[in-house]
Amino acid sequence: MEKRSAVVALPGPRAAARSVRRPPAWVRWLAVGGPAVAGYLALPAGVAADAVYGLLGVACTVAVVCGVRLHRPAARAPWYLLAAGQLLWTCGDVAYGMYEDVLHRAPFPSLADVLYIGAYPVLATALHLLTRRRGPGGDRAGLLDGALIATGLGLLSWVFLMRPAADARSGLLTQLMSLAYPVADLMALAMVLRMLVATRMRTPCCWLLAASLLLLVLTDSVAASLAVATHGHLHVLDAGWLLSYLLWAAAALHPSMRTLPEAAACRPAKPSRCRLAVLATTTLLAPGVLFAQGVSGTDRIDWLAVSLASAVLFLLVVVRVWDLTAQLRVQEHRLAELAELAGTDGLTGIPNRRTWDVEVARELADADRTGAPVCVALLDLDRFKRFNDAHGHLAGDHLLRSAAAAWQRQLRAGDLLARYGGEEFGVLVVGLGAERAAAVVDRLRLHTPLEQTLSAGVALWDGTESPQALLGRADRALYRAKSSGRNRVVVAAEEG
């Protein structure tokens, strides 16, 4: 009874719903996985710890699959590839534990190393499918920037990790496997950089994936450095790998995993200052390494590696500049198209009032310097409203298009025909006096289609008046043509 009364005392159904609402799946996953990793670290190294480690890896693989089943993204294959890569890592962990704590052997390379390295191409393929940008040209900028940064970091990795690891091993296969781990980490790092340089891909899922890969690369780098220095392995480093597994699975459980491919399809944003600063710093890594080795007085300077890295960085910068130049050309072309559309009448396809005003002002300015005559004419289709009412607006539109096309064919190459507004048009004639310009306009009158007529007023610029005053005289001449019976051209008189 006390329990029943406690339930009745709740404020209402909404409060009850809030009280039982569970956190999202990815939060619950991290809340359980974090203590599980801490519990693993509390165990002494041995078979029991290896079993917990393997179970955690299997759980992360299952969590990725569950995330796909839960959120049902449009692109499921990349996520299943991520789960396959995670499973390969887990199998490698199990094999490593078997060698270490059951067989009491530590061969290198071993089956565990093959599984570890084999997971990277699978994961790289999955991340490429998730992060590639759809559309023309793909994401060249992201690829080039990622390649720039990966090349610079690859030089650091070679100097401080790869070469010492290779020097510490004997045998070609052993040295190749020693080099494979840093190369694989660079592959993972390149995918992280590709995600991070695409601003619009920075969803929670993207951040979780990036954090997982960065933690993985950092842990691998620390482990490789310790292996070269001490030929040993610290149990606490396992936490770095396990936490990267947890973040990997959390990314699949986060709802934003559904929109990751769509975010990749967005047009990338403009380069930020931070991005430019990182790229600039990367290009200075090669001379920086050479300077550091020279100052430290080391017996062996990696001149070949620095030279190759410098050449690759230079070529990548050249390609990046070429790509930016190509983008600028495309943008200029698009701006020109937009400007043309903005200055064109949508119905008739001839210049509109905006273009007319600009061209009239420009021609008057030129005539002020050269003294060439300039005439403007305003044309009006007679009784256009009656035609519209009798035949419909579609027929009226057809008349406007047909008239514009017919008149355009009668004009000289340098003359301008523009739609002034409604059924009214403007003609700009340069190099002819008033009478000859009126003859040009009268030729348009004779070629008006659909048995329609026009009235026009022509005005010659007096050399001092403004464009508005010139058009005002042409408009008054048009009014006189209308009031005199229509279907005629009237030349405006000069006003003193």
Among 270, 293, 326, residue at a domain's last position: 270
Rounded Cα distance between 115 and 184, Å, is: 12
> What's the residue count for the chain?
496
Q: Return the residue matching tokens 């008033």.
A: 434
Q: Return the residue matching tokens 């059951």.
A: 102
Residue 14 lies in a domain: no
Rounded Cα distance between 490 and 485, Å, is: 11
| Segment-wise mean pLDDT, segments of 10 residues, the chain, 496 residues | 39 48 90 94 90 94 95 91 94 91 84 91 87 58 78 80 63 74 79 66 84 89 72 76 94 89 54 78 86 77 82 90 87 84 89 94 94 96 94 94 96 93 94 95 95 95 94 96 95 79
Helix (H) or strand (E) holding 192: helix 172-197
Residues 243 and 361 in one domain: no
**Residue 99's Cα: distance from chain center in Å?**
47
Residue 341 lies in a domain: no
Residues 260 and 148 in one domain: yes
Helix (H) or strand (E) holding 392: none
Could you give the residue ranges of the DSSP H alpha helices within 297-422? 303-342, 353-370, 384-391, 393-410
Among 253, 270, 287, residue at a domain's last position: 270
Residue 109 lies in a domain: yes
Amino acid at 326: A
Look at residues 246, 277, 258 and name the one whose alpha carbon lies nearest to residue 68. Answer: 258
Helices (H) and strands (E) in the chain, counts: 20, 5
Among 215, 243, 270, residue at a domain's last position: 270
Q: Output the pTM of the full model.
A: 0.60
Residues 114 and 228 in one domain: yes
List residues bridging with 381 in a β-sheet: 454
What is the residue range of 466's domain?
A: 353-491
Look at residues 234, 206, 229, 209 and name the one whose alpha carbon lies nearest to residue 219. Answer: 234
Residues 224 and 363 in one domain: no
Residue 103 lies in a domain: yes
Residue 263 lies in a domain: yes
- CA angle, residues 467, 472, 478, in degrees to nearest 5: 130
User: What pLDDT is stored for residue 61 in this prediction?
Assistant: 95
Q: Return the residue matching tokens 């029991």.
A: 48
Domain CATH code at residue 472: 3.30.70.270
Domain total of the chain: 2
Rounded Cα distance between 213 and 248, Å, is: 8
Rounded Cα distance between 355 and 465, Å, is: 20
Q: At what angle do helices 25-42 and 47-71 cross, to 10 degrees?
A: 170
Per the CB < 8 A criterion, the answer to whether 488 and 481 are in contact is yes
Which tokens in the block code for residue 208? Answer: 């979780």
Residue 183 lies in a domain: yes
Residue 328 lies in a domain: no
Per the CB < 8 A criterion, the answer to whether 414 and 439 are in contact is no
Rounded Cα distance between 382 and 331, Å, is: 43
Residue 7 lies in a domain: no
- Name residues whose C-beta falls within 8 Å of residue 321's C-beta, 6 or more positions apart in sequence: none
> Buried (b) or exposed (e) across 72-97, using 16+ Cβ within 10 A?
ebebeebbebbbbbbbbbbbbbbbbb
Residues 27 and 169 in one domain: yes
Amino acid at 370: T
